[in-house]
Structure 1
Amino acid sequence: MLMALVVASLVAGLGMRSPSPPDEPRFVLAARHMVETGQWLLPHRGSELYAEKPATFMWLQAATYKVLGDWNLSFLVPSLLAALLTLWLTWDLSRRLWNRQVARYTVLALFVCIQFGLMAKRAQIDMVLVGMTTLALWGLMRHLLLGPNWGAFALACFAAGVGTVTKGVGFLPLLILLPWALWRWRHPQAAGPGRSWNWWLLLPMFLLGTAVWLAPLGIALLNNPDPALKAYAHELLFKQTGTRYTSAWHHTQPAWYYLQVIATMWLPGSLLLPWLVPAWWRRCRRADPRYVLLLGWALLVLLFFSASPGKREVYILPMLPALAVAAAPLLAGLLRRTGVRWLLLGYVVLLAVAMLVIGYGAVHGDGWAQRNAARRAIDLSVLPTVGGWLIGVGAACLLLAITLRLRRAGLAVVLTTVLLWSMYGLGAMPALDPYSSASKVMDKVRVRIGPEAELGMVAWREQNLLQTDPQAADFGFKRPVAEQWQDAARWVAQDPHRRWLFVLDKAMSPCADRAQVIAIGSANRNNWQLLPGTALDVACVERTHGSVDGGDTAPDDDGD
C-alpha cells in the first residue's frame, strides 16, 4: 500500500499543467518541431538549431506525444518513467545485495529526498539521466559483486553510452571500476569476475550506446556539407562538453557548493548524515565491497563535479540512488534511536508549520505573499486557492505527526512526502500554471490581435513561443537583438496591416511609434509589449541597423 501511495504521488497532476521555465519549454519546442516537421535528427528552438543538449531527451518527449497525442500529458512522461525505473532498480539492487526489507527502505529513503521528487515531476533531462546512470550502476554492481555476469556488464556499458548522449556526463557510472580495482587489488582471492577477454565488451557496448544518436549525426555530417550542421556539431561536442566543464561561462559556484546542495535539497535524508557517515566509514574500513563501491563511486562523482567551476544543484543527482542503497541497511537501526526519531518528527512539524503559515498568508492577503505574486504578475485571486492547498496539506502533516508520534516518525516522513507531491501536482502547479507557463499573457495577445493576424517575436523566451498556436514567426533566439529587428522589419513590411510583433520591453526599437505600443502584460518577471506592423518605421530599422534600448545581445540561455 505504501509503495502504491509513492507511485500515486509522483503521477499526481500529470497532464494538469503546461511546460514552465527554465528548461521545460525549450525541450518541448524542440520535440514539437520534430513531430511537426518530421526532422528528428537536429533539435530546433524556433528557427535556430538547439545545440546545448543532444536530441535524445527530446526524442523521448516527441515519441511519447506520438503515442498520447497531448503535449501537456506527454512532456512529463519521460521523467516520470525514469523516476519509476530508478526506484525499481534501487529496490532490485538492494534486494540482491541484502534482502527485501532493506530494498523497501531503499525505495522510501530515495523517495523522501526532496530533489528526487522534484525532478520526477519536472520535464528536465536530469531525471532521465539518473535513470540511465542507475541502470548502469545496477548492471555493474551485479557483475562486480554478484557475478561474473557479462550480460549485465554489457547492458551497463550500453546504458552509460545512452546516458552520455542524453547528457554528457552519462559515462560516470564506469568510474565505479576504480574503487572495485582497488578493492580487488587488496583482496585478490575474493569471488567475482577475474581476467577475461569479455572485459573488452566495455568499449564496443559503450560506443553502441552513444551510437543511438552519434551515428545518425555522423552520417548527416558526412553527407551534408552545410556549415551550420558542422557548427552545430562543434558547439555540442566540444563547447558544451569539455569547454563547459573546464571553463564554465555561467552558474559558477565555489568548490564547497555541493555540500550546501546536499544539506538542503536532500532533506530529510541529509539529517541522518551525522549517523550515516561514521557507520559508512566503519564498513569501508572493514572492506565491505558493497559500501566500498557505492560510496567510493559517489565520492568520485562529487569530486568530479566539484572540480568544475560551473555547478548546478541537479548535477550531483545521479549520486543519490547509490547513497540511498548504501544507507538502507542502516535505517532500521537508526530509526530505533530516539534522537533520529525526534529529528525526523521535527522535520515533519517544521514543514507542516511552514505550509500553514505561508498558506494562511496567501488566503488572508499577507504582504509577503502579495509582493511575491505581484513580482511574478500572478493574479491575486489565485492566492486563496494555493493557500487553501497549503493549509490543507499542512494541517494533514501536523495531524500525522500527532497521530504517529515519535514511535513511527519514519512513516510520518514518508506520508508527508506523499502529501507534499500530491499537493504540488494536483493543486499548486495547476493553479499557478497560467502565469508560470506564460499562457495567460499569450492568451491576451491572441485576443488583442485577432484570429486573422500573424505574430512575430523579438527578444522572446521559449515559453512565449511555445504558447503560440499556430507557432509565431521568430527571427532567432541567440542572435543579437539588432539582427532580429532587421529580419522582423522585413517580415512586417510584407503585410504591415496583418502582422504584429511581440517584444520584450527592454528590447523595443526606437524606430517604433511609442504611442501605438501596447503593454500586453508580464510573465516570468519580464514585461512584454505588442507592436502593430503599421507602427514600425522599416526604413528607420534598416538605417539604424535595429539599434534598441536593451542593447544588442540575445537573452541569456538558462539551460542546464
Structure 2
Amino acid sequence: MRAAAFLDRLTETRRPVPWLVLLCLLLWLPGFFTIPAGDRDESRFAQASRQMVDSGDYVRIRLGEVERNKKPAGIHWAQAATVHALEAVGVPARDRIWAYRLPSLIGALIAVLATCLLGRTLVGRRAAFVAAAMLAPCMVLLVETHIAKTDAALLATITIAMGLMGRAYLTPQAFTTGQAAAFWAVLGIGVLLKGPIAPMIPLLAGLTLAVMDRPTGAPWWRLSAPWLRALQVGWGIPLMVLFAAPWFVAIGIATEGRFFAEAIGGDMLDKVGSGEEAHWGPPGMYAAIFGITAFPSAWIVLRALPGSWADRMQAPVRFLLAWAVPTWLLFEAVATKLPHYTLPAFPALMLLGARWAMDPLRQAPPRWLDWLAGLALGGVAIGLPLVAGYAVLHVEGRVEPFAITGLAAGVFMTWALVRMGRRAQWGRAALAASILVVPLFASVLEGVIPRLQAVWLSPRLAAQVAAMAPGLPARDFGVVGHHEPSLQFAMGGDIRLLRDGAAAAEFLAGAPGRIVAVNDRQEAAFRRAATDRGLAVRELGIVSGLNYVRGRQVAMSLFKVE
C-alpha cells in the first residue's frame, strides 16, 4: 500500500525535474563508465572526435588517415567540447570512452525532460510526467545513452522542436516569437547532428496535419495549416540554415566536395535503396520488435493504440499521431533497418500511452492486443537476463551470478506489473515499470557485459602491448586481421592497419622497436615472410577472444624482431 501511495503522489509532483533526473541516472549510469568502447559505430565516432581534439581541426572528420564523410560534425563538436571541459577541471578524459558518451546521456536526459515539460500542453501535467518516466527506460534509448554517437542527442532536438510545434498547433495565437526562434534553432542544431532527419519529422507531421485538418468537402489540394503562420516560416527557415550552413560550406571547401558526394550519394541514398552494411530488414520489422525496443513501456503503449486512434479527432491526439505515424511508416519503408531509427517517434508514443493510462474512461484494447502486450513485457523481462547468462556460458563457459540476479528481478517485475494490470491500475503500473526495471538493467549493464572479457578484445590487446612496451608510439604498432575501430580508440589513430602476414613482416623490417599483432589465419604467412626476409622474430604473447562484429573466434599473436 505504501508503494501504491508513493506512486500516486509521484504523479502529482510539482517538481518533476529532480525525480526524472534521479530516475534517468539510476537507469543509465550502470555500465556507463565500465563498458569498454564498442564496435563499430561508437569507436568510429569517439576516435574521430579525439583526433579533432588532438589536431585542433574541427572542420574535417577523420578516422585514422581516412576521411569520414558520412555525418555532419555536430556530435563530434559536442564530444570534443566535453573532453575539453573535463580536462579543464583536471579530469583525464581524452582516452576515456565515457567522456565521449556524455553528450548522448545529456541528450537523452533533455529528451525526457522535454517530453514532460513540453508534453503538458498535449496531455496534461500528470500524464506528461508519466510519459517522460516511460520514455527513460525504453531499451533503445537506454542503449543509445551508452553509445557515443548521434541518436540520443538528435532525439533531444526533435523532442524540443515537436513539443514547440505542438504548442503552435494547439494555441497558435499564444505562440511567441521566441518560441518560434527556439523551434528553428533546435532544428538547425539537429541538422548539424544528422543532416535532414531533424527537419524531416516536423515536415512529415505538418503535411499530415494539413491534410487531416482540411475542411469537410474541400478538394484534396486545399490544405489547412493556421499554425504555420505562428511558426514564422519566412525567417525561421533561414535561421535554421544559418545554424548549419557555415560548417557545410567549410567542409565542402576542405574536402573539395567529397563530403557531399559521399554523405548523400554513398551513405544516405544507400540506406534508402539498399540494406547498407548488411542492415537490411523487411517492412514491418520495427513493429515486430517494438516490444523489445520500447521495453518495458511497450506493454502500455500497445494497449493505448486502439483508443488513441478512436480519439484521433481530438487535436492533441491528432498531433501526436501525425508525429508518430508518418515517421514510423517512413522508416519501415527504408531498406536499411537499425533498431534506433524509429526513436524520434517514441516521445509521441509515450505521450499517447500515458494519456491512456491516466484516463479513467480509457478504452480497453482487444483481447489479442492485451495478450500481446503482456507477452512483450514478460518475454523481455525474463528473456534479457537469460540471453545475457547464456552468452557468458557459451563464450566463457561459466555461470554469471549477475544474470541470475537479473532473472529474479525480471520475474518479480513481471509479477508485480501484471498484478497492477489486472486491477486496471495503469498509471501506477507505468511508473512502477520504470522503477522496477532498474535492477534488471543494472544487473546486465554493470554486472554481465563489462565482465564478459572474451568480447573486449581490443582493450585487452592494447593492455598487453602497453605492458610489454610502455610508451610505444601508435605508429610503431601494426595489426593484421583485427581492423576494428575499437583498437584505434584504444591505441591511437596512427596504428598501422596491415593487409596480410607479408605486410606485417615488411612493417617489422621497416624500423627497430616495432610490434605487430597477427591473427591466427595469417600467422603462417607472416612467419614465412619473416623467414624470407631474414628476420628473427619473437612471439610476445597471445590475446584471444570473440570478434562479436564478425561472429568468430580470433587469436592475435604479438611479435617483434629479436
Cα 1:485–1:82 change in 2 (3 A) is: farther
1:218-263 deviations in Å (ceiling 9; x for gaps): 4xx1xx5xxx654344212432123432344431211222221324
Answering whether residue 299 of structure 2 is matched by residue 277 of structure 1, we say no
Partner secondary structure for residue 317 of structure 1: helix
Answering whether residue 330 of structure 2 is matched by residue 304 of structure 1, we say yes
Give the 5 Å matches for 1:468-483.
468=491, 473-475=495-497, 481=499
Answering whether residue 3 of structure 2 is matched by residue 6 of structure 1, we say no
Give the 5 Å matches for 1:210-359.
210-211=244-245, 213-218=247-252, 221=253, 229-250=256-277, 251-272=279-300, 275-284=303-312, 286=313, 288-333=314-359, 353-354=382-383
Answering whether residue 34 of structure 2 is matched by residue 16 of structure 1, we say yes
Partner secondary structure for residue 431 of structure 1: coil
Bigger mean CA deviation after superposition, 415-424 or 134-143: 415-424
1:483-510 deviations in Å (ceiling 9; x for gaps): x975x66643331x41122234445583
Cα 1:347–1:111 change in 2 (3 A) is: same
1:309-330 deviations in Å (ceiling 9; x for gaps): 2121111111111111223221
Number of the residue aligned with 2:466: 446
Cα 1:449–1:530 change in 2 (3 A) is: farther
Number of the residue aligned with 1:57: 75
Q: Tell me by how many angstroms 1:446 deviates.
A: 3.1
- For residue 58 of structure 2, the aligned residue among 40, 49, 62 is 40
Query: Hey, what's the Cα distance between the residues in 2 that align with 1:312 and 1:282?
Result: 30
Number of the residue aligned with 2:99: 74
1:350-401 deviations in Å (ceiling 9; x for gaps): 6565577678xx5xxxxx4555224xxxxx56x5453364356457647856
Task: Confirm or deny: 8 A CA contact 1:458 1:485 kept in the other structure.
Answer: no
Query: Hey, what's the Cα distance between the residues in 1 that align with 2:100 and 2:308?
Result: 39
TM-score by length of structure 1 reads: 0.78
Give the 5 Å matches for 1:401-550.
407=423, 409-432=429-452, 435-436=455-456, 438-448=458-468, 454-459=476-481, 460-468=483-491, 473-475=495-497, 481=499, 491-495=507-511, 497-506=512-521, 510-513=525-528, 519-524=542-547, 525-530=552-557, 532=559, 534=561
What value does the CA root-mean-square deviation take over the aligned residues? 3.7
Task: Confirm or deny: 8 A CA contact 1:16 1:72 kept in the other structure.
Answer: no
Give the 5 Å matches for 1:97-176.
97-147=122-172, 148-168=175-195, 169-173=197-201, 174-176=203-205
Query: Hey, what's the Cα distance between the residues in 2 that align with 1:342 and 1:4?
Result: 33
Number of the residue aligned with 1:30: 48
Q: Percent identity?
A: 22
Partner secondary structure for residue 373 of structure 1: helix
Task: Confirm or deny: 8 A CA contact 1:245 1:309 kept in the other structure.
Answer: yes
TM-score by length of structure 2 reads: 0.78
- For residue 403 of structure 2, the aligned residue among 380, 384, 387 is 387
Task: Confirm or deny: 8 A CA contact 1:294 1:326 kept in the other structure.
Answer: yes
Cα 1:231–1:507 change in 2 (3 A) is: farther
Q: Tell me by how many angstroms 1:343 deviates.
A: 8.1
Query: Hey, what's the Cα distance between the residues in 2 that align with 1:93 and 1:180?
Result: 19
Task: Confirm or deny: 8 A CA contact 1:341 1:409 kept in the other structure.
Answer: no
Partner secondary structure for residue 104 of structure 2: helix
Gaps of 5+ in 2: 1-9, 11-18, 87-91, 217-221, 532-536
1:59-90 deviations in Å (ceiling 9; x for gaps): 21111111124223312211111111111111
Task: Confirm or deny: 8 A CA contact 1:458 1:475 kept in the other structure.
Answer: yes
Cα 1:334–1:521 change in 2 (3 A) is: farther
Cα 1:280–1:507 change in 2 (3 A) is: farther
1:279-314 deviations in Å (ceiling 9; x for gaps): 122211x3x222222212322112222222212111
Number of the residue aligned with 1:177: 206
Bigger mean CA deviation after superposition, 170-179 or 244-253: 244-253
Number of the residue aligned with 1:372: 394
Task: Confirm or deny: 8 A CA contact 1:18 1:437 kept in the other structure.
Answer: no
Report the AA paired with residue 161 of structure 1.
G
Partner secondary structure for residue 545 of structure 2: strand
Query: Hey, what's the Cα distance between the residues in 2 that align with 1:492 and 1:455?
Result: 9
Task: Confirm or deny: 8 A CA contact 1:87 1:110 kept in the other structure.
Answer: yes
Partner secondary structure for residue 450 of structure 2: helix
1:26-47 deviations in Å (ceiling 9; x for gaps): 1111111111111121122122
Query: Hey, what's the Cα distance between the residues in 1 that align with 2:293 and 2:449?
Result: 19
Query: Hey, what's the Cα distance between the residues in 1 that align with 2:271 and 2:228?
Result: 37
Report the AA paired with residue 257 of structure 1.
M
Query: Hey, what's the Cα distance between the residues in 2 that align with 1:405 and 1:142?
Result: 32
Query: Hey, what's the Cα distance between the residues in 2 that align with 1:347 and 1:55?
Result: 38
Query: Hey, what's the Cα distance between the residues in 2 that align with 1:4 and 1:178?
Result: 34
Q: Tell me by how many angstroms 1:335 deviates.
A: 10
Cα 1:10–1:112 change in 2 (3 A) is: closer
Task: Confirm or deny: 8 A CA contact 1:438 1:523 kept in the other structure.
Answer: no
Query: Hey, what's the Cα distance between the residues in 2 that align with 1:233 and 1:405?
Result: 51
Answering whether residue 233 of structure 2 is matched by residue 199 of structure 1, we say yes
Partner secondary structure for residue 238 of structure 1: helix
